[in-house]
């Protein structure tokens, strides 16, 4: 897969990331991160103070060696912040590089008339415009995104999805969309271009993966505003402390009791630099994790919304069930045996290539060891299923065997003056009540019994829904089945509610009703008839194999076309919010601890009683300030892996999760600086004599 290849390349990008972080140390890049921009200004001011100290312009409280040491630490702090963002962007660039390598400009067979595919003109693929038609043959790459309007072919989409198994794309239905960069393996297709130049699916994907199109989400902007407000407050606090200290010094007959460099250090330690440095990386990494799951988000807002979702609308077919009904039981009636039913059903299904037909053959073999037979065309005449008869079967040696829907079989039997018994009716009704599909089997117009076809629930689905329920997420199954069948499957799967006999209008109305109650709703879809509901949903995941209308209506595209991916997307979204919240808690708790290191160190010369607050037992004012600054820088780089990989996802109620995070990241954030700053103090104290 492209993502796996990208993760291998990530190790090779370490040097590039470090250099990229250096390049970001410029005014234009730094001002995009307001909190770290203030640290950037602080580093520049300290550097200027060092230059002035070389010319004897200094407050004479600190040495030039101390000033340049503080300046270097502040520049390194800015560099660590840039390194976090550069590393997160590096992941995306590695993924994008793989995608770019798979894309190449190809020649397109442009059609003037889509009804005359044999008459085409060869043009460069990038010159195709929206609305143009082109022909693509076997073993040729599809030059642009489009909708199949003619033909059917096997298509290799591994360049996009990473899956080696080819898929079928054909005109009409919900499997008609094709993506530029994929390859036709067999037959030919006539395709209508659906995207403008430079806005193809691959272009959008590369842009999102690189992070070039990433916009800050509302929650991210709100948190950034809060951090900026706190930083401005601390700027005012620091400035007022300088004024107050000068006033106090005059009263006490002292001169310049506090250095400007100390106050700069105080501001940097007071400001929420940890979360400020990591905030952008958290958002980029969230997008990267979604890309690694083979999901393309059209905006960061969609990922964030996924974390707040509390209602999931899930298709029954392919998500909750395997998607194909399978034979589960042979039920005899009228004195016949289950083996007789199985024997007749198996013979009638030998030419039935549908999943249901194959499952009947498998069940007969499993239960009664009834195996396939030699069925030469001269002896056996197979009757195919049709939408009109709703029956199929076989005629051989004057014997007629049929299997089909109960109502149609009843008409078939009674037309030939045979009895459709109440016992058979009861068996059919029982299967329907249990959520299954009954197929009645006859031999020479006599009813032998009933085959129970059942939607097989996927293993682990019920437990997965139970986990979602713990998180406060309601699950709703969408199905076209009748209410009785839908209720039985919903009960077995463990979903909270269901929408039966679903239509595009009923899906959209259901979403609207939940949204009106204040819920955030997510759903998946792949067809044109899903587009209205996808457009209405807060998180709309369109299948890559679906129609162009569905992909345009959704705010995410699942490249694997897996209906179960919605659950993974919600997990990734919640992990993003958890990571941001946890690191914010840790950052603020960190700052509180740093106060105890740096405030007593700065003011204890002016106010000796403040020495009692030096609870860490730091050796000197200089050591305390440098230790706090070094810790402030190192904690950023130490938390980069957590910001990139995310806080471990826990499927527990929100209140319990909040309590856990407050203890782990709140209390932990208070304790870690005491340990870290004290250790740094012990290390650097012997070195301070050199300053």
Q: Which of 132, 145, 203, 315 is catalytic?
A: 315
Give the CA-trace dihedral at 490, 493, 495, 500, to 10 degrees: -30
The tokens of 430 are what? Answer: 């029982």
- How many C-beta atoms surround the C-beta of residue 56 within 10 A? 8
23-27 contacts at long range (C-beta below 8 A, 24 or more positions apart): 24/82, 24/85, 24/86, 25/75, 25/78, 25/79, 25/82
27 token code pair: 């005014």
- Nearest Cα to 562, choosing from 318, 202, 317, 302? 318
> Would you say the C-alpha torsion 170, 171, 175, 176 has a positive or negative sign?
positive
Q: Is 240 exposed, middle or buried (0-12, 13-18, 19+ CB in 10 A)?
A: exposed
> Which parts are annotated binding residues?
352, 356, 385-392, 403, 526, 530
Is residue 568 part of the annotated active site? The answer reads no
526 CB-near residues (< 8 Å, 6+ apart):
174, 542, 543, 545, 546, 547, 550, 561
> For 129-152, b where at least 16 C-beta lie within 10 A, e where not — what string?
eeebbbbbeeebbbbbbbbbbbbb
Strand residues in 4-119 grouped as ranges (E): 107-111
Helix axis angle for 64-102 and 14-23, nearest 10°, is: 120
Which tokens is 265 given?
């250090």
Question: CA-CA distance, 331 to 346, in Å (whole number)?
Answer: 14
**Alpha-carbon distance 682 to 522, whole Å?**
53
Q: Quick one: which H or E segment has residue 257?
A: none
Mapping DSSP to helix (H, G, I), strand (E, B) and coil, where does residue 355 land? helix
- Residue 393 pairs in a beta bridge with 383, 402
Q: Tell me the chain's radius of gyration from C-alpha atoms.
A: 34
219 forms beta bridges with none
DSSP 438-506: EEEEEETTEEEEEEEEEEEEPTTHHHHHHHHHHTT-EEEEE-SS-HHHHHHHHHHHT-SEEE-S--HHH
Where is the binding site for ATP, in residues? 352, 356, 385-392, 403
- Phi and psi (nearest 5°) for 348? -70, -15
Which residues are the active-site residues? 315
């Amino acid at each position: 897969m492209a993502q796996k290849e990208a993760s291998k390349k990530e190790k090779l990008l370490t040097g590039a990331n470090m250099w990229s972080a250096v390049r970001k140390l410029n005014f234009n890049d730094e001002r995009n991160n307001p909190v770290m921009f203030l640290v950037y200004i602080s580093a520049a001011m300290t550097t200027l103070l060092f230059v002035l100290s070389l010319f004897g312009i200094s407050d004479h409280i600190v040495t030039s060696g101390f000033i340049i040491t503080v300046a270097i630490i502040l520049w390194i702090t800015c560099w660590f912040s840039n390194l976090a963002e550069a590393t997160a962007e590096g992941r995306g660039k590695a993924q994008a590089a793989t995608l770019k390598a798979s894309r190449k400009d190809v020649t397109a067979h442009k059609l003037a008339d889509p009804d005359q595919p044999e008459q085409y003109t060869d043009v460069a693929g990038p010159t195709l415009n929206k609305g143009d038609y082109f022909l693509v043959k076997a073993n040729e790459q599809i030059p642009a995104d489009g909708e199949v309007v003619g033909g059917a072919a096997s298509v290799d989409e591994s360049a996009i999805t990473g899956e080696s198994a080819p898929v079928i794309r054909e005109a009409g239905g919900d499997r008609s969309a094709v993506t530029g960069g994929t390859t036709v393996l067999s037959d030919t297709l006539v395709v209508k271009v659906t995207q403008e130049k430079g806005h193809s699916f691959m272009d959008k994907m590369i842009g999102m993966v690189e992070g070039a199109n990433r916009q800050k989400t509302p929650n991210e902007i709100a948190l950034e505003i809060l951090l900026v407000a706190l930083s401005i407050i601390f700027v005012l606090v620091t400035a007022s402390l300088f004024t107050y200290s000068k006033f106090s010094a005059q009263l006490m007959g002292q001169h310049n009791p506090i250095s400007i460099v100390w106050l700069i250090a105080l501001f940097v330690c007071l400001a929420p630099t940890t979360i400020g440095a990591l905030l952008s990386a958290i958002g980029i990494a969230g997008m990267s994790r979604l890309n690694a799951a083979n999901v393309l988000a059209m905006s960061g807002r969609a990922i964030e919304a996924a974390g707040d979702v509390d209602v999931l609308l899930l298709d029954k077919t392919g998500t909750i069930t395997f998607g194909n009904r399978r034979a589960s039981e042979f039920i005899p009636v009228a004195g016949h045996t289950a083996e007789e039913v199985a024997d007749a059903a198996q013979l009638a299904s030998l030419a039935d290539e549908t999943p249901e037909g194959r499952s009947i053959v498998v069940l007969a073999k499993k239960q009664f060891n009834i195996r396939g037979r030699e069925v030469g065309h001269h002896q056996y005449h197979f009757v195919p299923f049709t939408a009109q008869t709703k029956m199929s079967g076989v005629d051989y040696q004057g014997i007629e065997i049929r299997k089909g829907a109960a109502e149609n079989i009843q008409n078939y039997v009674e037309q030939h003056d045979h009895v459709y018994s109440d016992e058979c009716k009861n068996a059919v009704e029982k299967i329907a009540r249990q959520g299954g599909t009954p197929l009645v089997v006859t031999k020479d117009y006599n009813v032998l019994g009933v085959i129970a076809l059942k939607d097989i629930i996927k293993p682990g689905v019920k437990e997965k829904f139970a986990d979602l329920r713990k998180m406060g997420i309601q699950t709703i199954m969408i199905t076209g089945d009748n209410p009785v069948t839908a209720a039985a499957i919903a009960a077995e799967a463990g979903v909270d509610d269901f929408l039966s006999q679903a239509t595009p209008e009923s899906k959209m109305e259901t979403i609207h009703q939940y949204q009106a109650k204040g819920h955030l709703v997510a759903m998946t879809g792949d067809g044109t008839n899903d587009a209205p509901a996808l457009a209405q949903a807060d998180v709309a995941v369109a299948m890559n194999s679906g129609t162009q209308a569905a992909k345009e209506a959704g705010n995410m595209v699942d490249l694997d076309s897996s209906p179960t991916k919605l659950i993974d997307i919600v997990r990734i979204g919640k992990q993003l919010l958890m990571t941001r919240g946890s690191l914010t808690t840790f950052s603020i708790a960190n700052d509180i601890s740093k106060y105890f290191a740096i405030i007593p160190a700065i003011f204890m010369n002016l106010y000796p009683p403040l020495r009692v607050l030096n609870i860490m037992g730091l050796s000197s004012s200089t050591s305390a300030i440098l230790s706090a600054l070094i810790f402030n820088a190192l904690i950023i780089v130490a938390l980069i892996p957590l910001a990139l990989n995310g806080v471990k996802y826990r499927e527990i109620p929100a209140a319990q999760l909040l309590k856990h995070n407050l203890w782990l990241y709140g209390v932990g954030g208070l304790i870690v600086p005491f340990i870290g700053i004290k250790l740094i103090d012990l290390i650097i104290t012997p070195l301070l004599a050199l300053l």
